[in-house]
Amino acid sequence: MAEKIWLASPHMSEEGYEMAYIKEAFDTNWVAPLGPNVTEFENELAAKVGAKAASATTTGTAAIHLALKLVGVKEGDIVLCQSLTFSASANPIIYEKATPVFVDSDFVTWNMDPLLLEQALIKYGDRVKAVIVVHLYGLAADMDKIVELCNKYNVVLIEDAAESLGTYYKGKHTGTFGEFGVFSFNGNKIITTSGGGMLVSDNEEKIAKTRFWATQARDQARHYQHSELGFNYRMSNVVAGIGRGQLKVLEQRVAKKKYIFKYYKRELCYLEGVEFMPINDWNEPNYWLSVMTLNGQVRPIQIMEALETENIESRPVWKPMHMQPFFEKYDYVGGDVSEKLFENGVCLPSDTKMTDDDLERVCKITKGLWR
């Protein structure tokens, strides 16, 4: 069997930065939650993206949940959420018993269509408390228009930037346009801590509040006293050490992801029906995954099966939320853009440990389907 090529797998630094921070945590017995790595990871990530404050969590999903808690969404409220995404964008809306309404993407950005967002804002009026926009595959959404609409209709903007650490929109880091931004360090993301997340905001008080909730909402008292509902959502000091090390190689990872994308595009763009994900000139993506769409004879499933036979992992594009059995009962504002992207899209292996030989293998197998 040929050597496995992954879609996107953890890639620790060759320099061993992560291990040094972990060792320090062990040496000082800061293995338990909190400790200097957590605080430093928060500071370093906030500085990297240009936010005033950050709160480190066990997962990105937990960070989205805490953002919705800060907004105060409750039963009867509506949260407008991009349909083309991973379910973790939408699940926390249900945790808080609010109602999601899904919004379609446009072909220009693959993310939330601002025209449809406005339709949804008009349709649901005052019931809308928040908008969750996603920067899918590291492609920035149309932030100028989305921010303007959220201001105009007075709703809180939450950016699910789980896939877009390292992505800039007009020179400003994604996750810093809305009141809250969320990052993920899950195993397949551009940098990973094995699992983890981060909530960022310019509102330091609100970020401090999430640290309180995330450590079981313990009031300041010698005994265990709770005036509010708590969560066990805080990142551990060991995990944060991995994050600090990984943050040092983020630019290297983005550069390699970009190299992978350009390689595929150069080799495959001339094939009949093939198009690559849109790179707009205001968008400086992290190229988390290289995604192409197929509008001709060759179908995504053929490519995925041919690669799988050769021990190479690839994936379809996310199945939109409005098509998911669990979410299909909720309203959807849009047409068939996200459905088309789901039907026609393939995520090619975009692992930063891939060599040119690996890339050549993937291209050769793919091209073989057009012969």
Ligand X SMILES: *Cc1c(COP(=O)(O)O)cnc(C)c1O
**Which residues form the catalytic set?**
189
The nearer residue to ligand X, 192 or 237, going by C-beta atoms, is: 192
Count residues near ligand X (CB under 6 A). 14
The nearer residue to ligand X, 106 or 163, going by C-beta atoms, is: 163
Residue 288 burial (CB count, 10 A): 27
With CB under 6 A as the contact rule, the residue among 18, 42, 77, 160 that binds ligand X is: 160
The tokens of 364 are what? 């050769």
Q: Can you tell me the distance from the alpha carbon of 122 to that of 166, in angstroms, rounded to the nearest whole number? A: 33
Can residue 61 be called a binding residue for ligand X (CB under 6 A)? yes
* 252-281 residues near ligand X, rule: CB under 6 A: none
With CB under 6 A as the contact rule, the residue among 37, 55, 83, 89 that binds ligand X is: 89
Can residue 8 be called a binding residue for ligand X (CB under 6 A)? no
Can residue 131 be called a binding residue for ligand X (CB under 6 A)? no
Can residue 100 be called a binding residue for ligand X (CB under 6 A)? no
The tokens of 283 are what? 């968008």
Can residue 293 be called a binding residue for ligand X (CB under 6 A)? no
Can residue 327 be called a binding residue for ligand X (CB under 6 A)? no
With CB under 6 A as the contact rule, the residue among 55, 99, 109, 184 that binds ligand X is: 184
Can residue 174 be called a binding residue for ligand X (CB under 6 A)? no
Q: Please name which of 102, 75, 97 lies closest in space to residue 87, comparing C-alpha atoms.
A: 102
259 burial (CB, 10 Å; 0-12 / 13-18 / 19+) is: middle
- Strand 78-82 relative to strand 128-134: parallel, antiparallel, unpaired? parallel
Q: Can you tell me the distance from the alpha carbon of 196 to that of 185, in angstroms, rounded to the nearest whole number? A: 5
Q: Tokens 């973790």 correspond to what residue?
A: 88
Which residues face 234 on adjacent strands?
Answer: 57
Alpha helices in 182-335 (DSSP H): 204-214, 237-247, 250-268, 300-309
The nearer residue to ligand X, 188 or 216, going by C-beta atoms, is: 188
Closest distance to ligand X from the beta carbon of 78 (Å): 20
Can residue 351 be called a binding residue for ligand X (CB under 6 A)? no
With CB under 6 A as the contact rule, the residue among 118, 163, 179, 351 that binds ligand X is: 163
Ramachandran angles phi, psi of 98, nearest 5°: -85, 175
Can residue 84 be called a binding residue for ligand X (CB under 6 A)? no
Q: Can you tell me the distance from the alpha carbon of 329 to that of 331, in angstroms, rounded to the nearest whole number? A: 7
The nearer residue to ligand X, 86 or 332, going by C-beta atoms, is: 86
Which spans of this chain sit near ligand X (rule: CB under 6 A)? 59-61, 85-86, 88-89, 134, 160, 162-163, 184, 186, 197
